[in-house]
Chains A and B, each alone.
Chain A
Amino acid sequence: MLVVVASRHDEPAKALVTRWAAHDARLLTCEDLSVAGWRHYSDGRRPSRAVISGREVGVEEISGVLTRLPCVVEHELTHIIPVDRAYVAAEMTAFLTAWLTGLRCPVVNRPTPTCLSGPNWRPEQWVYAAAQVGIPVHPLHRRVSLGSQPGSAVSHSKPVTVTVLGDRWFGSVAPEVAIQARRLADAAKVELLAVRFSGPDPGCSFVSANIWPEFGSDDLLDALLAYLNEKRRTTY
Protein backbone atom coordinates (compact mmCIF):
# COMPACT_ATOMS: atom_id res chain seq x y z
CA MET A 1 0.00 0.00 0.00
CA LEU A 2 1.22 3.48 -0.90
CA VAL A 3 0.15 6.31 1.39
CA VAL A 4 -0.08 9.98 0.42
CA VAL A 5 -0.15 12.20 3.51
CA ALA A 6 -1.90 15.42 2.58
CA SER A 7 -4.46 18.04 3.39
CA ARG A 8 -7.99 16.96 2.66
CA HIS A 9 -8.15 19.98 0.33
CA ASP A 10 -5.09 18.85 -1.68
CA GLU A 11 -6.57 18.07 -5.09
CA PRO A 12 -3.25 17.04 -6.73
CA ALA A 13 -2.78 14.54 -3.90
CA LYS A 14 -6.23 13.10 -4.53
CA ALA A 15 -5.47 12.87 -8.25
CA LEU A 16 -2.23 11.08 -7.48
CA VAL A 17 -4.02 8.53 -5.34
CA THR A 18 -6.43 7.90 -8.21
CA ARG A 19 -3.54 7.56 -10.65
CA TRP A 20 -1.82 5.05 -8.38
CA ALA A 21 -5.00 3.12 -7.56
CA ALA A 22 -3.57 -0.06 -9.05
CA HIS A 23 -0.84 0.12 -6.40
CA ASP A 24 -3.37 0.41 -3.58
CA ALA A 25 -2.59 4.10 -3.01
CA ARG A 26 -4.57 5.78 -0.24
CA LEU A 27 -4.88 9.25 1.18
CA LEU A 28 -4.07 9.90 4.85
CA THR A 29 -5.59 13.14 6.14
CA CYS A 30 -6.07 14.61 9.58
CA GLU A 31 -9.59 13.12 9.64
CA ASP A 32 -8.00 9.66 9.82
CA LEU A 33 -6.31 10.72 13.05
CA SER A 34 -9.74 11.11 14.63
CA VAL A 35 -10.79 7.53 13.99
CA ALA A 36 -10.43 4.74 16.55
CA GLY A 37 -7.84 2.22 15.38
CA TRP A 38 -4.39 3.82 15.68
CA ARG A 39 -1.96 1.87 17.84
CA HIS A 40 1.65 3.02 17.88
CA TYR A 41 3.91 1.13 20.31
CA SER A 42 7.36 2.44 21.22
CA ASP A 43 8.92 -0.97 21.78
CA GLY A 44 8.27 -2.39 18.31
CA ARG A 45 7.39 -5.77 19.85
CA ARG A 46 3.67 -5.36 19.37
CA PRO A 47 2.06 -4.77 15.97
CA SER A 48 1.25 -1.14 15.30
CA ARG A 49 -1.93 -0.20 13.46
CA ALA A 50 -2.89 2.84 11.43
CA VAL A 51 -6.07 4.28 9.95
CA ILE A 52 -5.71 5.23 6.29
CA SER A 53 -8.67 6.59 4.32
CA GLY A 54 -10.90 5.51 7.17
CA ARG A 55 -9.71 1.89 7.11
CA GLU A 56 -7.64 0.24 9.83
CA VAL A 57 -4.45 -1.34 8.46
CA GLY A 58 -1.30 -2.96 9.79
CA VAL A 59 1.68 -0.64 9.50
CA GLU A 60 3.66 -3.44 7.84
CA GLU A 61 1.22 -3.24 4.89
CA ILE A 62 2.54 0.23 4.00
CA SER A 63 5.22 0.02 1.32
CA GLY A 64 5.89 3.71 0.71
CA VAL A 65 4.79 7.19 1.75
CA LEU A 66 4.68 10.52 -0.02
CA THR A 67 4.20 13.43 2.38
CA ARG A 68 2.68 16.68 1.11
CA LEU A 69 1.85 18.22 4.45
CA PRO A 70 4.08 20.51 6.57
CA CYS A 71 1.88 20.14 9.66
CA VAL A 72 -1.70 19.66 10.75
CA VAL A 73 -3.38 23.05 10.86
CA GLU A 74 -6.25 24.13 13.06
CA HIS A 75 -8.60 25.16 10.31
CA GLU A 76 -8.67 21.64 8.87
CA LEU A 77 -9.96 20.26 12.15
CA THR A 78 -13.56 21.21 11.62
CA HIS A 79 -14.63 17.97 13.30
CA ILE A 80 -12.94 19.12 16.56
CA ILE A 81 -14.56 21.70 18.82
CA PRO A 82 -12.95 25.12 18.24
CA VAL A 83 -11.47 25.50 21.72
CA ASP A 84 -9.48 22.26 21.29
CA ARG A 85 -8.29 22.73 17.71
CA ALA A 86 -4.91 24.35 18.41
CA TYR A 87 -3.96 21.68 20.93
CA VAL A 88 -5.22 18.81 18.76
CA ALA A 89 -3.35 20.19 15.73
CA ALA A 90 -0.11 20.27 17.74
CA GLU A 91 -0.70 16.75 19.07
CA MET A 92 -1.50 15.33 15.63
CA THR A 93 1.58 16.98 14.10
CA ALA A 94 3.79 15.67 16.90
CA PHE A 95 2.36 12.19 16.48
CA LEU A 96 2.82 12.17 12.70
CA THR A 97 6.43 13.34 13.12
CA ALA A 98 7.21 10.31 15.26
CA TRP A 99 5.08 7.90 13.22
CA LEU A 100 6.57 8.87 9.86
CA THR A 101 10.09 8.81 11.31
CA GLY A 102 9.58 5.29 12.60
CA LEU A 103 8.21 3.75 9.40
CA ARG A 104 10.38 1.04 7.90
CA CYS A 105 9.59 1.93 4.30
CA PRO A 106 10.54 4.78 1.96
CA VAL A 107 9.11 8.14 3.07
CA VAL A 108 9.50 11.03 0.62
CA ASN A 109 10.43 13.47 2.02
CA ARG A 110 11.33 12.23 5.44
CA PRO A 111 10.03 14.38 8.32
CA THR A 112 12.13 16.62 10.52
CA PRO A 113 11.15 18.05 13.92
CA THR A 114 10.17 21.29 12.16
CA CYS A 115 8.11 19.85 9.31
CA LEU A 116 6.38 16.63 8.29
CA SER A 117 8.20 16.70 4.94
CA GLY A 118 11.81 17.82 4.99
CA PRO A 119 13.02 21.04 6.56
CA ASN A 120 10.68 23.96 7.06
CA TRP A 121 13.14 26.46 5.71
CA ARG A 122 12.40 30.13 5.26
CA PRO A 123 13.34 31.81 1.94
CA GLU A 124 16.45 33.21 3.67
CA GLN A 125 17.62 29.71 4.55
CA TRP A 126 17.16 28.48 0.99
CA VAL A 127 19.11 31.45 -0.38
CA TYR A 128 21.88 30.91 2.16
CA ALA A 129 22.04 27.16 1.44
CA ALA A 130 22.06 27.79 -2.31
CA ALA A 131 24.98 30.17 -1.92
CA GLN A 132 26.85 27.64 0.22
CA VAL A 133 26.65 24.99 -2.54
CA GLY A 134 27.89 27.43 -5.18
CA ILE A 135 24.66 28.55 -6.82
CA PRO A 136 24.64 32.25 -7.78
CA VAL A 137 22.12 34.12 -5.61
CA HIS A 138 20.66 37.60 -5.44
CA PRO A 139 20.83 38.99 -1.91
CA LEU A 140 17.47 38.59 -0.20
CA HIS A 141 16.27 41.62 1.73
CA ARG A 142 13.71 41.47 4.49
CA ARG A 143 12.42 44.59 6.22
CA VAL A 144 10.06 44.39 9.18
CA SER A 145 8.49 47.62 10.34
CA LEU A 146 5.06 48.24 11.82
CA GLY A 147 2.74 49.31 9.06
CA SER A 148 5.00 48.24 6.22
CA GLN A 149 4.09 45.37 3.94
CA PRO A 150 6.48 42.49 3.27
CA GLY A 151 8.76 43.39 0.37
CA SER A 152 8.22 41.89 -3.05
CA ALA A 153 10.71 39.41 -4.40
CA VAL A 154 13.10 40.13 -7.23
CA SER A 155 11.23 39.40 -10.46
CA HIS A 156 12.77 37.12 -13.02
CA SER A 157 11.51 37.28 -16.56
CA LYS A 158 11.52 33.59 -17.41
CA PRO A 159 12.31 31.42 -14.41
CA VAL A 160 12.55 27.69 -15.01
CA THR A 161 11.98 24.85 -12.60
CA VAL A 162 14.01 21.70 -12.24
CA THR A 163 12.62 18.96 -10.01
CA VAL A 164 15.06 16.62 -8.35
CA LEU A 165 14.03 13.10 -7.37
CA GLY A 166 16.88 11.03 -5.97
CA ASP A 167 19.52 10.93 -8.69
CA ARG A 168 17.11 11.96 -11.45
CA TRP A 169 15.93 15.39 -12.49
CA PHE A 170 13.07 16.77 -14.55
CA GLY A 171 12.96 20.09 -16.34
CA SER A 172 14.39 21.81 -19.38
CA VAL A 173 17.67 23.00 -17.93
CA ALA A 174 21.33 22.44 -18.66
CA PRO A 175 22.87 19.47 -16.81
CA GLU A 176 25.08 21.87 -14.84
CA VAL A 177 21.97 23.57 -13.46
CA ALA A 178 20.39 20.23 -12.58
CA ILE A 179 23.56 19.25 -10.71
CA GLN A 180 23.30 22.45 -8.68
CA ALA A 181 19.70 21.63 -7.82
CA ARG A 182 20.82 18.17 -6.75
CA ARG A 183 23.45 19.71 -4.47
CA LEU A 184 20.84 21.94 -2.90
CA ALA A 185 18.58 18.91 -2.28
CA ASP A 186 21.52 17.14 -0.65
CA ALA A 187 22.17 20.17 1.57
CA ALA A 188 18.53 20.15 2.62
CA LYS A 189 18.65 16.35 3.06
CA VAL A 190 15.62 15.78 0.86
CA GLU A 191 15.02 13.42 -2.01
CA LEU A 192 12.30 15.42 -3.76
CA LEU A 193 12.78 19.13 -4.40
CA ALA A 194 11.72 21.65 -7.02
CA VAL A 195 14.25 24.44 -7.57
CA ARG A 196 13.56 27.56 -9.63
CA PHE A 197 16.38 29.27 -11.47
CA SER A 198 16.41 32.56 -13.34
CA GLY A 199 17.00 30.65 -16.57
CA PRO A 200 17.97 27.25 -17.98
CA ASP A 201 21.65 27.89 -18.62
CA PRO A 202 24.78 27.56 -16.51
CA GLY A 203 25.38 30.67 -14.43
CA CYS A 204 21.71 31.38 -13.89
CA SER A 205 20.80 32.39 -10.37
CA PHE A 206 18.69 30.78 -7.68
CA VAL A 207 15.10 32.00 -7.39
CA SER A 208 13.35 29.70 -4.90
CA ALA A 209 12.93 26.11 -3.75
CA ASN A 210 9.84 24.08 -2.98
CA ILE A 211 9.59 20.86 -0.99
CA TRP A 212 6.17 20.20 -2.56
CA PRO A 213 6.66 20.21 -6.33
CA GLU A 214 3.75 20.59 -8.68
CA PHE A 215 2.77 17.31 -10.25
CA GLY A 216 2.47 18.64 -13.78
CA SER A 217 4.58 16.00 -15.48
CA ASP A 218 3.49 12.39 -16.00
CA ASP A 219 7.17 11.47 -16.22
CA LEU A 220 7.74 12.80 -12.72
CA LEU A 221 4.77 10.91 -11.30
CA ASP A 222 5.83 7.65 -12.95
CA ALA A 223 9.38 8.18 -11.71
CA LEU A 224 8.10 8.85 -8.19
CA LEU A 225 6.19 5.57 -8.18
CA ALA A 226 9.23 3.70 -9.50
CA TYR A 227 11.45 5.45 -6.94
CA LEU A 228 9.31 4.41 -3.99
CA ASN A 229 9.16 0.80 -5.21
CA GLU A 230 12.86 0.59 -6.06
CA LYS A 231 13.95 2.15 -2.80
CA ARG A 232 11.86 -0.30 -0.84
CA ARG A 233 13.49 -3.21 -2.67
CA THR A 234 17.03 -1.96 -2.19
CA THR A 235 16.93 -0.34 1.25
CA TYR A 236 14.29 -1.94 3.44
Chain B
Amino acid sequence: MILLWGLPLDGPLAAVHEALKRLEVPVVLLDQREVLRTDIELVVSSKIEGVVRTCDLTIDLSRVTAVYLRPYDSTRLPNVRTAGSGSSAWYHALRVDDALWGWAELTPAVVVNRPTAMASNNSKPYQSGQIRSFGFRIPDTLITTDPSAAREFWATYGTVVYKSISSVRSIVARLTPEHMARLDTIAGCPTQFQQYVPGNDYRVHIVGNAVFACEIVSAADDYRYAGRQGAPVEIRSCELPNDCAERCRALAAAIGLSVAGVDLRYTPDGAWYCFEVNPSPGFTYYQEASKQPINEAIARLLAQ
Protein backbone atom coordinates (compact mmCIF):
# COMPACT_ATOMS: atom_id res chain seq x y z
CA MET B 1 0.00 0.00 0.00
CA ILE B 2 1.24 3.47 -0.88
CA LEU B 3 0.56 6.31 1.54
CA LEU B 4 0.20 9.93 0.47
CA TRP B 5 0.19 12.58 3.20
CA GLY B 6 -0.79 16.16 2.54
CA LEU B 7 -3.56 18.31 1.15
CA PRO B 8 -5.68 16.77 -1.65
CA LEU B 9 -5.53 19.95 -3.74
CA ASP B 10 -1.76 20.32 -3.46
CA GLY B 11 -0.60 20.17 -7.08
CA PRO B 12 2.22 17.62 -6.82
CA LEU B 13 0.29 15.40 -4.39
CA ALA B 14 -2.81 15.40 -6.61
CA ALA B 15 -0.74 14.69 -9.72
CA VAL B 16 1.03 11.73 -8.11
CA HIS B 17 -2.27 10.48 -6.71
CA GLU B 18 -3.82 10.49 -10.20
CA ALA B 19 -0.82 8.69 -11.65
CA LEU B 20 -0.97 6.02 -8.95
CA LYS B 21 -4.65 5.46 -9.61
CA ARG B 22 -3.88 4.94 -13.29
CA LEU B 23 -1.29 2.33 -12.26
CA GLU B 24 -4.07 0.61 -10.28
CA VAL B 25 -1.90 0.11 -7.21
CA PRO B 26 -3.32 0.30 -3.68
CA VAL B 27 -3.04 3.88 -2.49
CA VAL B 28 -4.40 5.76 0.49
CA LEU B 29 -4.46 9.52 0.97
CA LEU B 30 -4.10 10.80 4.52
CA ASP B 31 -5.87 14.13 4.19
CA GLN B 32 -4.09 16.67 6.35
CA ARG B 33 -7.31 18.64 6.76
CA GLU B 34 -8.49 15.76 8.97
CA VAL B 35 -5.69 16.39 11.47
CA LEU B 36 -8.05 17.06 14.37
CA ARG B 37 -9.78 13.74 13.70
CA THR B 38 -6.51 11.82 13.29
CA ASP B 39 -5.28 9.41 15.97
CA ILE B 40 -1.90 7.69 15.83
CA GLU B 41 -0.38 4.82 17.74
CA LEU B 42 3.28 3.93 17.30
CA VAL B 43 5.36 1.17 18.88
CA VAL B 44 9.12 1.26 18.41
CA SER B 45 11.76 -1.26 19.39
CA SER B 46 14.01 -2.91 16.81
CA LYS B 47 11.22 -2.14 14.32
CA ILE B 48 8.47 0.41 14.05
CA GLU B 49 4.80 -0.43 13.87
CA GLY B 50 1.68 1.61 14.19
CA VAL B 51 -1.80 2.59 13.15
CA VAL B 52 -3.27 5.85 11.89
CA ARG B 53 -7.02 6.35 12.26
CA THR B 54 -9.30 9.02 10.89
CA CYS B 55 -13.10 9.05 10.61
CA ASP B 56 -12.93 7.13 7.34
CA LEU B 57 -9.60 5.33 7.41
CA THR B 58 -7.57 2.88 9.40
CA ILE B 59 -4.03 2.62 8.10
CA ASP B 60 -1.79 -0.17 9.33
CA LEU B 61 1.62 1.47 8.94
CA SER B 62 3.30 -1.94 8.75
CA ARG B 63 1.56 -2.48 5.40
CA VAL B 64 2.84 0.76 3.89
CA THR B 65 5.44 -0.03 1.24
CA ALA B 66 6.03 3.54 0.07
CA VAL B 67 5.08 7.04 1.17
CA TYR B 68 5.01 10.42 -0.56
CA LEU B 69 5.27 13.29 1.90
CA ARG B 70 3.83 16.67 0.94
CA PRO B 71 2.41 17.99 4.22
CA TYR B 72 2.24 21.61 5.22
CA ASP B 73 2.64 22.74 8.82
CA SER B 74 -0.59 21.44 10.39
CA THR B 75 -0.73 24.31 12.88
CA ARG B 76 -1.38 26.60 9.90
CA LEU B 77 -4.52 24.75 8.83
CA PRO B 78 -7.60 26.97 9.22
CA ASN B 79 -9.31 24.93 11.95
CA VAL B 80 -6.09 24.75 13.99
CA ARG B 81 -5.32 28.44 13.53
CA THR B 82 -8.81 29.29 14.64
CA ALA B 83 -8.32 27.25 17.82
CA GLY B 84 -5.20 29.29 18.45
CA SER B 85 -1.62 28.75 19.50
CA GLY B 86 -1.44 26.80 22.75
CA SER B 87 -4.91 25.24 22.37
CA SER B 88 -5.40 21.49 22.65
CA ALA B 89 -6.07 21.43 18.89
CA TRP B 90 -2.78 23.20 18.24
CA TYR B 91 -0.82 20.76 20.43
CA HIS B 92 -2.61 17.83 18.82
CA ALA B 93 -1.66 19.06 15.35
CA LEU B 94 1.97 19.39 16.46
CA ARG B 95 1.94 15.85 17.88
CA VAL B 96 0.39 14.37 14.75
CA ASP B 97 3.00 16.02 12.56
CA ASP B 98 5.83 14.96 14.85
CA ALA B 99 4.65 11.36 15.09
CA LEU B 100 4.30 10.99 11.33
CA TRP B 101 7.63 12.68 10.59
CA GLY B 102 9.23 10.42 13.17
CA TRP B 103 7.65 7.34 11.61
CA ALA B 104 8.89 8.49 8.18
CA GLU B 105 12.46 8.54 9.53
CA LEU B 106 12.32 4.91 10.65
CA THR B 107 9.92 3.02 8.40
CA PRO B 108 11.52 0.49 6.05
CA ALA B 109 9.11 1.71 3.35
CA VAL B 110 10.33 3.77 0.41
CA VAL B 111 10.05 7.37 1.60
CA VAL B 112 9.95 10.34 -0.77
CA ASN B 113 11.83 11.91 0.90
CA ARG B 114 13.19 11.08 4.36
CA PRO B 115 12.92 14.11 6.66
CA THR B 116 16.62 14.06 7.54
CA ALA B 117 17.56 14.11 3.86
CA MET B 118 15.17 16.98 3.20
CA ALA B 119 16.78 19.00 5.98
CA SER B 120 19.91 19.76 3.96
CA ASN B 121 17.94 22.55 2.31
CA ASN B 122 17.31 24.19 5.69
CA SER B 123 20.69 25.91 5.36
CA LYS B 124 21.50 27.03 1.84
CA PRO B 125 25.20 27.66 2.52
CA TYR B 126 25.46 24.23 4.14
CA GLN B 127 23.89 22.66 1.07
CA SER B 128 26.19 24.71 -1.17
CA GLY B 129 29.11 22.86 0.37
CA GLN B 130 27.55 19.57 -0.71
CA ILE B 131 26.81 20.96 -4.18
CA ARG B 132 30.39 22.15 -4.71
CA SER B 133 31.77 18.70 -3.92
CA PHE B 134 29.95 17.39 -7.01
CA GLY B 135 31.77 19.68 -9.38
CA PHE B 136 29.18 22.40 -9.77
CA ARG B 137 30.13 26.00 -9.37
CA ILE B 138 28.39 28.03 -6.70
CA PRO B 139 28.25 31.82 -6.71
CA ASP B 140 30.80 33.61 -4.54
CA THR B 141 28.90 34.26 -1.33
CA LEU B 142 29.27 36.53 1.67
CA ILE B 143 27.18 36.14 4.81
CA THR B 144 27.68 39.12 7.04
CA THR B 145 26.40 41.43 9.74
CA ASP B 146 28.93 44.03 8.64
CA PRO B 147 27.60 46.76 6.32
CA SER B 148 31.12 47.69 5.22
CA ALA B 149 31.80 44.08 4.17
CA ALA B 150 28.58 44.07 2.14
CA ARG B 151 29.61 47.30 0.40
CA GLU B 152 33.06 45.87 -0.40
CA PHE B 153 31.48 42.70 -1.81
CA TRP B 154 29.10 44.78 -3.89
CA ALA B 155 31.98 46.87 -5.21
CA THR B 156 33.93 43.72 -6.10
CA TYR B 157 31.17 42.12 -8.18
CA GLY B 158 29.22 45.11 -9.42
CA THR B 159 25.95 43.20 -9.45
CA VAL B 160 24.96 41.32 -6.33
CA VAL B 161 21.79 39.51 -5.19
CA TYR B 162 20.57 38.83 -1.67
CA LYS B 163 18.55 35.83 -0.53
CA SER B 164 17.57 34.02 2.63
CA ILE B 165 20.04 31.67 4.33
CA SER B 166 17.36 29.30 5.57
CA SER B 167 14.60 27.49 3.70
CA VAL B 168 12.15 30.20 4.68
CA ARG B 169 11.19 31.23 1.21
CA SER B 170 12.25 34.66 0.08
CA ILE B 171 12.54 36.25 -3.29
CA VAL B 172 16.01 36.49 -4.76
CA ALA B 173 16.55 40.16 -5.56
CA ARG B 174 19.34 42.35 -6.85
CA LEU B 175 20.92 44.87 -4.55
CA THR B 176 20.14 48.35 -5.82
CA PRO B 177 21.30 51.85 -4.80
CA GLU B 178 18.03 52.17 -2.86
CA HIS B 179 19.28 49.44 -0.51
CA MET B 180 22.36 51.47 0.43
CA ALA B 181 20.43 53.61 2.90
CA ARG B 182 19.21 50.59 4.89
CA LEU B 183 22.29 48.39 4.62
CA ASP B 184 23.13 49.18 8.25
CA THR B 185 20.13 47.06 9.32
CA ILE B 186 22.03 43.86 8.43
CA ALA B 187 23.88 44.17 11.73
CA GLY B 188 20.82 42.65 13.39
CA CYS B 189 20.91 39.36 11.50
CA PRO B 190 23.42 37.62 9.22
CA THR B 191 22.46 38.34 5.62
CA GLN B 192 23.48 36.43 2.53
CA PHE B 193 24.83 38.20 -0.56
CA GLN B 194 25.90 36.45 -3.75
CA GLN B 195 27.63 37.51 -6.91
CA TYR B 196 25.09 37.78 -9.72
CA VAL B 197 25.65 34.99 -12.22
CA PRO B 198 24.35 35.74 -15.73
CA GLY B 199 22.94 32.95 -17.86
CA ASN B 200 19.95 30.74 -18.53
CA ASP B 201 18.11 28.94 -15.75
CA TYR B 202 17.47 25.22 -15.76
CA ARG B 203 15.29 23.18 -13.42
CA VAL B 204 16.26 19.53 -13.31
CA HIS B 205 13.94 17.03 -11.65
CA ILE B 206 15.56 13.83 -10.50
CA VAL B 207 13.23 10.89 -9.93
CA GLY B 208 15.26 7.83 -9.00
CA ASN B 209 17.59 7.48 -11.97
CA ALA B 210 15.40 9.49 -14.33
CA VAL B 211 16.34 13.06 -15.23
CA PHE B 212 13.83 15.65 -16.47
CA ALA B 213 15.42 18.93 -17.49
CA CYS B 214 13.68 22.20 -18.33
CA GLU B 215 15.20 25.37 -19.68
CA ILE B 216 13.63 28.54 -18.31
CA VAL B 217 13.87 31.73 -20.31
CA SER B 218 13.15 34.87 -18.29
CA ALA B 219 14.72 38.24 -17.66
CA ALA B 220 13.51 38.33 -14.04
CA ASP B 221 15.96 38.03 -11.11
CA ASP B 222 13.77 35.22 -9.75
CA TYR B 223 11.68 33.64 -12.50
CA ARG B 224 9.22 32.21 -9.94
CA TYR B 225 8.07 35.78 -9.37
CA ALA B 226 8.56 37.08 -12.91
CA GLY B 227 4.95 38.24 -13.06
CA ARG B 228 5.65 40.86 -10.39
CA GLN B 229 8.36 42.34 -12.61
CA GLY B 230 6.17 42.12 -15.68
CA ALA B 231 8.63 39.68 -17.24
CA PRO B 232 7.41 36.71 -19.29
CA VAL B 233 8.60 33.18 -18.52
CA GLU B 234 9.10 30.42 -21.04
CA ILE B 235 9.69 26.85 -19.86
CA ARG B 236 10.69 24.15 -22.30
CA SER B 237 11.90 20.58 -22.03
CA CYS B 238 15.58 20.06 -22.88
CA GLU B 239 18.43 17.59 -22.70
CA LEU B 240 21.38 18.18 -20.38
CA PRO B 241 24.94 17.22 -21.28
CA ASN B 242 25.53 13.72 -19.94
CA ASP B 243 28.13 14.74 -17.38
CA CYS B 244 25.87 17.47 -16.00
CA ALA B 245 22.90 15.12 -15.77
CA GLU B 246 25.05 12.54 -14.03
CA ARG B 247 26.27 15.11 -11.50
CA CYS B 248 22.66 16.08 -10.73
CA ARG B 249 21.77 12.43 -10.23
CA ALA B 250 24.79 11.78 -8.00
CA LEU B 251 24.19 14.95 -5.98
CA ALA B 252 20.58 14.04 -5.22
CA ALA B 253 21.60 10.50 -4.30
CA ALA B 254 24.38 11.73 -2.01
CA ILE B 255 21.96 13.97 -0.15
CA GLY B 256 19.59 11.00 0.12
CA LEU B 257 16.86 12.39 -2.11
CA SER B 258 15.12 10.01 -4.53
CA VAL B 259 13.09 12.95 -5.83
CA ALA B 260 14.68 16.38 -6.10
CA GLY B 261 14.50 19.65 -8.01
CA VAL B 262 17.95 20.96 -8.90
CA ASP B 263 18.29 24.64 -9.81
CA LEU B 264 21.07 25.30 -12.33
CA ARG B 265 22.28 28.25 -14.38
CA TYR B 266 24.41 27.92 -17.52
CA THR B 267 26.62 30.93 -18.10
CA PRO B 268 27.59 32.48 -21.45
CA ASP B 269 31.16 31.21 -20.91
CA GLY B 270 29.98 27.61 -20.53
CA ALA B 271 29.96 27.02 -16.77
CA TRP B 272 27.23 25.21 -14.82
CA TYR B 273 26.29 26.85 -11.53
CA CYS B 274 24.02 25.11 -9.05
CA PHE B 275 22.01 27.25 -6.64
CA GLU B 276 20.14 24.68 -4.62
CA VAL B 277 18.55 21.25 -4.47
CA ASN B 278 14.87 21.38 -3.57
CA PRO B 279 13.89 18.29 -1.55
CA SER B 280 10.13 18.61 -2.10
CA PRO B 281 9.85 20.14 -5.54
CA GLY B 282 6.63 21.70 -6.75
CA PHE B 283 7.17 19.97 -10.06
CA THR B 284 3.70 20.57 -11.50
CA TYR B 285 4.61 24.18 -12.39
CA TYR B 286 7.26 22.79 -14.75
CA GLN B 287 5.33 19.72 -15.83
CA GLU B 288 2.38 21.77 -17.06
CA ALA B 289 4.65 23.80 -19.32
CA SER B 290 7.08 21.10 -20.44
CA LYS B 291 4.65 18.15 -20.63
CA GLN B 292 7.27 15.99 -18.93
CA PRO B 293 5.63 13.02 -17.14
CA ILE B 294 7.26 13.69 -13.76
CA ASN B 295 4.25 12.57 -11.74
CA GLU B 296 4.21 9.26 -13.64
CA ALA B 297 7.87 8.70 -12.80
CA ILE B 298 7.28 9.42 -9.11
CA ALA B 299 4.29 7.07 -9.11
CA ARG B 300 6.40 4.29 -10.65
CA LEU B 301 9.15 4.93 -8.10
CA LEU B 302 6.62 4.55 -5.29
CA ALA B 303 4.99 1.49 -6.84
CA GLN B 304 8.11 -0.49 -7.69
Question: How far is B125's CA from A101's CA once the two chains are assembled, in angstroms?
Answer: 10
Question: How far is B126's CA from A113's CA once the two chains are assembled, in angstroms?
Answer: 8
B88 adjacent to A146 (CB under 8 Å): yes
> Given A97-B123, A127-B45, is A142 in contact with B99 using a C-beta cutoff of 8 Å?
yes
Q: Which of B138-146, B211-219, B292-300 contacts A (4 or more CB under 8 A)?
A: B138-146
Interface residues in chain A, defined as those with a beta carbon under 8 Å from any beta carbon in chain B: 33-43, 49, 51, 79-80, 84, 87-88, 90-95, 97-99, 101-102, 112-114, 119, 122, 124-125, 127-128, 131-132, 137-147, 150
Closest 10 CB pairs of A and B: A98-B125, A94-B166, A113-B119, A131-B46, A42-B141, A94-B123, A97-B123, A90-B166, A36-B187, A144-B40
A51 adjacent to B126 (CB under 8 Å): no
Whether, in the assembled complex, B147 has its beta carbon less than 8 Å from a beta carbon of chain A, the answer is yes
B40 adjacent to A122 (CB under 8 Å): no
> Given A33-B190, A98-B125, is A144 in contact with B96 using a C-beta cutoff of 8 Å?
yes
Smallest Cβ-Cβ distance to A36: which chain B residue: B187
Question: How far is B98's CA from A87's CA once the two chains are assembled, in angstroms?
Answer: 21
Cβ–Cβ < 8 Å partners of A142 in chain B: 40-44, 99, 102
> Number of contact residues on B: which range applies?
35 or more
A92 adjacent to B46 (CB under 8 Å): no
Question: How far is B190's CA from A36's CA once the two chains are assembled, in angstroms?
Answer: 9
Shortest C-beta distance, B122 to chain A (Å), equals 5
B43 adjacent to A139 (CB under 8 Å): yes
Cβ–Cβ < 8 Å partners of A124 in chain B: 42, 44, 48, 102, 106
Whether, in the assembled complex, B165 has its beta carbon less than 8 Å from a beta carbon of chain A, the answer is yes
Cβ–Cβ < 8 Å partners of B139 in chain A: 42
Interface residues in chain B, defined as those with a beta carbon under 8 Å from any beta carbon in chain A: 36-48, 88-89, 92, 95-96, 98-99, 102, 105-106, 115-116, 119-129, 138-147, 149, 164-168, 187-191
Shortest C-beta distance, A75 to chain B (Å), equals 13
Cβ–Cβ < 8 Å partners of B38 in chain A: 144
B189 adjacent to A140 (CB under 8 Å): no
B45 adjacent to A35 (CB under 8 Å): no
B145 adjacent to A38 (CB under 8 Å): yes
Shortest C-beta distance, B254 to chain A (Å), equals 13
Shortest C-beta distance, B157 to chain A (Å), equals 12
Shortest C-beta distance, A51 to chain B (Å), equals 7
Candidates A36, A93, A94, A137; contact of B145 at CB < 8 Å: A36
Cβ–Cβ < 8 Å partners of A34 in chain B: 145, 187-189
Cβ–Cβ < 8 Å partners of B46 in chain A: 128, 131-132, 137
